[in-house]
Structure 1
Amino acid sequence: MTQISEAPARTRAQISDRTLRKDRWWQAPVVVVTLLTIWLTYATVRVFTGHWYYVPQYHYLTPFYSPCVNGECLPEASTLGRWIPAVPPVIPYAFVSLVFVLGFRLSCYYYRRAYYRSFWQSPPSCAVREPHARYTGETRFPLIVQNLHRYFFYVVLAISLLNTWDAAQAFRGPDGNFGFGLGSLIMLANVILLWCYTLSCHSCRHITGGRLKHFSKHPVRYWIWTKVSWLNARHMQLAWITLGTLMLTDLYIMLVASGAISDPRIFN
């Protein structure tokens, strides 16, 4: 009679090294830390500068100051009016929108992955042990705020409409009639890419096509879902591109507003 031996007890592999990977896995987190730090430093300095944010002659308003509702804003730069009294310099002029834009970006699925890996090292890369002793997920403060991403998305849709209005105003010449220059085209490209990034959001994809059992019964939503899905596949690229276009747009308007450069006019 054959005797069946007991299977050996299973234990986790005892690996003392942080990782057995031999490739340069640390390069991606380092690049992300560097680029995000540069952008955050620039954006922080600009939103607290308090000047060189508007070009009255060509109606250029930087997205970092839109909407400009502070009592110290230039009247012509205040699309929604100056309904907030003058605030201390420690509060940005566009604090009404910046809170939601920042919340939308920070809770974005791609940006979570980016700064979780690069800044928090949780984990820094696949198959690399993280330094944290335990992980509680997004169930406690502050990470539980990530669950507000969908609601940030709704507000950012309204802010995107406002950015579109600002871009449309940039197509007015000094006399108020139709006209545009290089700055107008930069603002237009920026707002188009911002719309692409916003609509490529995972929440937008779920809103358009989620909770449907049969796509065939909802052809319009299915068509929208396919377009959003196409953008969603490029969400990471759009996340980085829009950071670049935001910085470029603000930098260009700052240089023109300060008189460092002149805006090449194409028409009127």
Structure 2
Amino acid sequence: MATTDHGVTSPGRAHIEARTLREDRWWLAPLTTFVVFSAFVVYATVRAFMGRDYYASPYLSPFYSPCLGDCVEGASDFGQPFSWWPLSAALIILIFPLGFRMTCYYYRKSYYRAFWLSPPACGVAEPHSAYSGETKFPLILQNVHRYFWYAAVVVGLILTYDVFLAFRPMPAEYAVGDGETSGVHMGLGTLLMIANVVFIWLYTLSCHSCRHVVGGRLRHFSKHPVRYKLWTWVSKLNGSHGRWAWYSLFSVALVDLYVFLLATGTIQDLRFF
């Protein structure tokens, strides 16, 4: 007979009244995830809706790249096809990197535990009486993750292009000293953007969907040596997928904050040449 009981209360499981027998600080990891994720969501939401202070030549915030709406001069390298858009330009493109992260296998595990306590940690009972997995709405939409991965690759390419643009000489109005600019610009912002795009690519290429794309549905690896080699590389990256997820989360916020501080005149770019 079918039963609605699932998880630790299901028939056949040991009847233990205590929520957990663990004596370590198991709550520290989900609490940290809750605080960090909440802070990032609040920060990213505020910056996305601001619609300003996202460009300080030659740096463009990753939250607004590519800038396809009604953007400030110099920020649009692919034109402004959505110039009619009445809201912030960030809201046009953030759905793609946000959708990729929200449906990511690692992030799903993290925020399921931190926000829904499902379960809060290994060996700790969850407070929910029923469990349906990701078979019902809205969680069944998590299956679109593989498609967001393709979009994430495009975003990664655009952010890489932004890094090359960050080496452009600064316009005279942004120059310091006698107003002259060199043929190549190199500043702290350039280094931050390089680090960010490296973490973005490590996070994107270590994705489980990427591993499936390069090596999935193959009966014999020996007949596909190139795909097998790619699969082994992605598999090695996949072991640290959670690490790259965190690093890229911090780096994208840091670059945006740095551009914001430059655009508002709070700080000046530390220029090397």
TM over 0.5: yes
Residue 63 of structure 1: aligned partner: 62
In structure 2, the partner of 1:79 is 77
Q: Give, in whole Å, the separation in 1 of the partners of 2:256 and 2:84.
A: 23
Residue 164 of structure 1 corresponds to which residue in structure 2? Answer: 160
Which residue is equivalent to 1:50? 51
- 1:196-211 matched pairs, under 5 angstroms: 196-211=202-217
Matched, 1:101 2:97: yes
Is the alpha carbon distance of 1:11 and 1:207 closer, same or farther for their aligned partners in structure 2, counting shifts above 3 Å? closer
Cα contact 2:119–2:125 (8 A) shared by 1: yes
- The equivalent position to 2:147 in structure 1, one of 143, 151, 155, is 151
Q: Tell me, yes or no, if the aligned pair for 1:75 and 1:82 is still in contact at 8 Å.
A: no
Question: Equivalent residues in 2 for 1:85-124 (5 A)?
Answer: 85-88=83-86, 91-124=87-120
1:138 maps to 2:134: yes
Aligned length: 253
Higher radius of gyration, 1 or 2? 1
- The match for 1:255 is 261
Secondary structure of the corresponding residue to residue 218 of structure 2:
coil
> Over aligned residue pairs, what C-alpha RMSD do you find?
1.5
Any idea what the Cα deviations from partners look like across 1:40-90, whole Å, max 9, x if unmatched? 11111111112111013xx1000011111112x1131012211113434xx
State the shift of 1:176 in Å.
Answer: 8.1
The offset of 1:130, in angstroms, is 0.9
Residue 27 (structure 1) shift: 1.0
Deviation of the 1:191 alpha carbon = 0.7
Q: Secondary structure at the match of 2:50?
A: coil
Code of the aligned partner of 2:69 = N
Range with greater deviation from structure 2 (130-139 or 144-153): 130-139
Per the alignment, residue 177 of structure 2 pairs with none
Query: Which runs of 5 or more structure 2 residues have no equivalent in the other structure?
Result: 1-10, 171-180
3-state DSSP class of the match of 1:76?
coil
Whole-angstrom CA distance in 1 between matches of 2:211 and 2:188? 34
Contact kept in structure 1, 2:68 and 2:89, CA below 8 Å: yes
Using structure 2 for the length normalisation, give the TM-score: 0.88
**Equivalent residue of 2:272, what SS?**
strand
- In 1, the alpha carbon distance for the partners of 2:139 and 2:182 equals 47
TM-superposed deviation, 1:11 = 5.1
Contact in 1 for aligned 2:49/2:90 (Cα 8 Å): no
Q: Give the structure 2 partner of residue 28 of structure 1.
A: 29
Letter of the aligned partner of 1:46 in structure 2?
A: R
Alpha-carbon distance in 2 for matches of 1:86, 1:177: 35
The amino acid across from 2:72 in the alignment is: L
TM-score, normalised with respect to structure 1: 0.90
Task: State the match for 1:4 in structure 2.
Answer: none
- Asked whether the equivalents of residues 49 and 91 of structure 2 are also in contact (C-alpha less than 8 Å), the reply is no
